[in-house]
Chains A and B, each alone.
Chain A
Amino acid sequence: MPTVRFSTYRNRIMEKRVPFIAMFDITHRCNLDCVHCYVRSDGEDYKNKELDLEEICDMLQQVSKAGVIHLRLTGGEPLLRPDFKEIYLYAKKKNLAVTILTNATLITEDMVNFFEKHPPSMLAISSYDLTAQTYEEITRVKGSFKCFQKAIRLLKKTRIRYIVKSVIMKTNYKEAKDMERIAGAIEAYSFYSYYLVPRRDGDIAKNMLINQQRLAPEEIKTLFNSNRKAKAFKVDGSSRKDRIEECGAGRIGFYIDPYGKFNICAFINGPNIDLKKVRFIDAWKSYKMDRTPLMKKKIACGDCESSFSCMWCPGLAYLETGSTEKSIPYLCRITDAVNKERETQKCSVLN
């Protein structure tokens, strides 16, 4: 019976354009108010606009029928929805492998028992630090660290699979220098990013806050020196061209927002297709992204030698500049800083 790695199989199904991975934000509301969040939108207006249980289940039924196997339920905080358990159980009933992206602060004993009975493929938990002060400086909700700690304590006693993901910014930068220690303390596989993504809705005031939290190239250099083996600094060897060719957006993956809007990528906010009016399979078939113009060398970054270690992708470019083709100046600066440091170290080893 052949066993294949997803990374091998994805190329095969990408050619055929089979919807395989769905990212579904079931709410953009959140019980935390993280300084760097790129989606949180709170208030009654947003709540009233959200898809209801019946609409979500209808969409899950459609995506499962179309071939989707892996569902990422995310938000905002997905567990904030009072009908979360119903949504989740329906997804399981539709034979979807469900990963839940959560801040974990709403994971109580009851929720742990529920997940033990109906295990998710994975809980991907956001974490910012191991001290209450720093954690709550980021989440801006008093008492949230205690809830986070309690959830981790409860999860440690179970067989529920979870990983921890962190974002490094000004507030937790000093503590984050030793990420392996943090991962060890939580007893989970951990990965982190030092790149803060701008707001999906382009909110200027919130983007200013995000900019203030972004690490300066010098700080990222220091982070690199203390975490050289971290996945965040791994040079994957793929060029910008490779990354465009390998990008699964619209070929195996897609995104649905809490209001039923479909797009091929979570970072591209428009033009969207309203799944309340159009069946999923029709939206999927009609929304194609022509990657040909992106492959040309003439456009920004086209012949950049640093592209092998840069996080640039068309979606991020869209979020940062409004165009899938432009370069991202902040990414250029931080990539250069890390690359120079990498080169310096290579030279000192050779000498």
Chain B
Amino acid sequence: MANDLKKIYKKDPETITRTIDGELIVMPLGEDVGIGDLGCFHILKNKTAIYIWDLIDGKSSVGEIKQEIITRFDAEPKKAESDIIEFLYNLEKIKAIA
């Protein structure tokens, strides 16, 4: 867990994102975005999730992101940590961040 907090993520430059109607669409290029049917993409609806996405800058560590979330949303530290790590893991899995 301590190692997870030291990790620094950066967004995949090929990932396409767009905010539509308050939701963030995340479409990694590795996903199926073929012609005709544009395939799948991911939607971040939760404002905390969108804020975390904004904080991923290739400089801030997971620990620093966690601290920012706790301060901004008055979150419970342990819960915030596990939620953030899980969320980042999911983003990593879809190759939106590395």
Interfacial residues, chain A to chain B (CB-CB below 8 A): 1-7, 9, 13, 16, 18, 20-21, 67, 69-70, 72, 95-97, 99, 101, 119, 121-122, 124, 161, 163, 165, 189, 191
Contact = CB atoms under 8 A, between A and B. Distances in A.
B18 A69 contact: yes
A232 B44 CA distance: 35
A97 B16 contact: yes
A340 to B, nearest CB: 27
A18 B29 contact: no
A161 B35 CA distance: 11
Contacts of B42: 1-4
Smallest CB-CB A-B distances: 10 pairs: A6-B38, A121-B33, A97-B16, A69-B18, A124-B35, A1-B90, A2-B43, A97-B33, A1-B42, A3-B42
B51 interface: no
Interface in B1-55: 14, 16-18, 20-21, 25, 27, 29, 33-45, 49
Given A2-B42, A2-B43, A3-B42, A95 B17 contact: yes
Contacts of A96: 16
Contacts of B27: 69, 97
Nearest to A69: B18
14 contacts: A1-B90, A1-B94, A3-B43, A4-B42, A6-B37, A6-B40, A9-B41, A13-B20, A13-B21, A18-B21, A69-B25, A72-B35, A95-B18, A97-B29
Given A13-B20, A18-B21, A121-B29, A4 B41 contact: yes
Contacts of B20: 13, 18, 20, 67
A211 B37 CA distance: 29
Contacts of A67: 18, 20
Contacts of B37: 5-7
A161 B14 CA distance: 14
Interface of B: 14, 16-18, 20-21, 25, 27, 29, 33-45, 49, 87, 90-91, 94
A260 to B, nearest CB: 24
Given A2-B43, A69-B27, A122 B17 contact: no
B91 to A, nearest CB: 8
Nearest to B16: A97
Contacts of B16: 69, 95-97
Contact of A99 (B35, B40, B44): B35
Contacts of B40: 3-6
Contacts of B25: 69
A13 B40 CA distance: 15
Contacts of B21: 13, 16, 18
Given A2-B43, A69-B27, A122 B35 contact: yes
B41 to A, nearest CB: 7
A6 B41 contact: yes
B41 A70 contact: no
A151 B43 CA distance: 36
Contact of A5 (B18, B35, B39, B91): B39
A141 to B, nearest CB: 25
A167 to B, nearest CB: 15
A189 B32 CA distance: 13
A1 B39 contact: no
